[in-house]
Amino acid sequence: MKFHLILALSLGGALLANGASIAYNNLVQSDGAITHYGFDEAGGTTAIDAIAGADGTYTGAVNLSATSLPGLGTAADLAGGFVAVPNLGSFSTTSAEVWLQVDALAGGCCTSIASAGSWSSQALHWNIKSGGDFEHAVNGQGNSNTNPGTLVADGTTWFHLVVTQDAGDTITYVNGVAVPDNGVNHAGTLDYGNSNFQIGAWNGGRLLNGRIDEFAVYDSALTPEQVMSHYTVGTTGIPEPSSSLLVLLGGVLALRRRR
């Protein structure tokens, strides 16, 4: 009996560990993501888009299989590199989502989270300013900025970041919670990549120094409940119990009763 219990617990732990990242991926897809880069590749130069096949290219110094949070699999360590991706579309209602662990902020203007290469109308420039505030800038529509000090670049702390745009209302969520901003809202179309779109860089500069994970784009505005659900699963690594795990534990309990 002891052997069967130990075996069941070992298998159950493996199923939970594997199920955690699967649960997060399923959550992102079920909530309507149109593009999702999980950065779970063990090697190579291709960043796989798990939904639409809009694969990106790891460019420069990028270390894969970096440690991420319990529910997220692995991350990409942008140690002087970035991810070049194709045009991901244009939307008036949209959400962008990413997880970040930043070692240090770039000098000058800002550190790029994801940006189009041009300054053409509606182009997205998603940044971290030198004061630690997040900036969601859409060319021609102004810059929506959170308060300074929202992000701490200590190489340890992970941040879950979501920005939604819906009917002229722009909301930034940090770690599952909507945070104060400067009141600037984007009412028009937002372009994810009308020219040379890069994750972790702007035209090969303003490089993100740190780890990045689970970059996703939606053609809808995530609800506060959805954002919090993503944050909870990502940080805890606790998904809903899978059917296989429930069957396994049920069998163990049945065996124990017979004894």
Round to whole Å and give the CA distance between 49 and 165: 22
Q: What is the pTM of this model?
A: 0.86
CA distances from 167 to 3, 91, 94, 171, 187 (A): 59, 11, 10, 11, 6
Provide the token pair at 108.
């000058």
List of residues 6+ apart from 88 with CB closer than 8 A: 34, 35, 54, 192, 193, 197, 217
CB of 114 within 8 A of CB of 215? yes
Structure tokens at 85: 């991706």
User: Per-residue pLDDT for 204 more than 90?
Assistant: yes
In this predicted model, what pLDDT tens digit does every residue of 4-55 receive, in sequence order? 433 333 334 433 444 568 999 999 999 999 999 999 999 999 999 999 999 9
Domains in the chain, ordered, with CATH?
2-237 (2.60.120.200)
Structure tokens at 155: 């190489």
**Interval 169-197 mean pLDDT:** 91
